A = this chain, B = another copy of it.
Amino acid sequence: MPKLKLTYFDFDGGRGEPVRLALVIAGLPFEDDRVKFNEWAARKPGTPFGALPVLQVDGAVISQSNTITRYVGKLTDLYPEDPWQAALCDEVMDAVEDLNGHIGSTISIGDPEAKKTAREALAAGPMSVHLVRLNAYLESRGGEYFADNRLTVADLKVYSLVAHLRSGVLDHIPADLVDRKAPLLVKHADRLLKHAKIAAYYKDR
């Protein structure tokens, strides 16, 4: 196995968490390089595209959230080999990144009124559309997993989004939006938190 170093912000969520969880589930050792928010401005220019996560693999660097998640998914056997199942997994991961991108673009809005307007439009628009669709996908695939009839990185990606939205940390995004629009995603997240490896990991942190 290659030597892995994941660089991401110092919190249990966001675009880095699905990668950490995949490695935890598979029991693969990795260096968990956590960047404090006040260190970010200095470290940003050293990243390929001015963003985290970044993964070092035996010293070689790759970036982009879903690129890293997919690569680590292959290392940890949490990514489908069948091309169609891989596409179903990818589509879900890309849909989550759609929302991460929308959320990210509202974080930089300085004016409080403009931020409120943008967040409310996001919650009523793309966020609701995506949550409803992801809920329907999960239901149509049996209700438990998003692809390949087993745990894949798509599940970890959706879990991380759902946990973030339900935490209520994003002003003007109702903390109960997921519960109202996509109740199956709430059950899905609750099940993932009971996964033995994930439960043990969060208990120890």
Does chain B have a CB within 8 A of A30? no
For A90, the chain B residues whose CB sits under 8 A away are 64, 66-67, 70-71
Identify 10 residue pairs between A and B in the complex whose beta-carbon atoms are under 8 Å apart, listed by A's number: A49-B95, A49-B98, A49-B130, A49-B133, A57-B84, A60-B84, A64-B94, A64-B98, A67-B90, A71-B83
Within 8 A of B (CB), among A51-99: 57, 60, 62-68, 70-71, 74-75, 83-84, 86-88, 90-91, 94-95, 98
Distance of A150 Cα from B94 Cα, bound (Å) = 25
Give 1 or 0 for each of A112-139: 1 = CB within 8 Å of chain B CB.
0000000000000010011001000000
Please tell me if the beta carbons of B91 and A67 are within 8 angstroms of each other in the complex. yes
Interface class of chain A by DSSP = helix
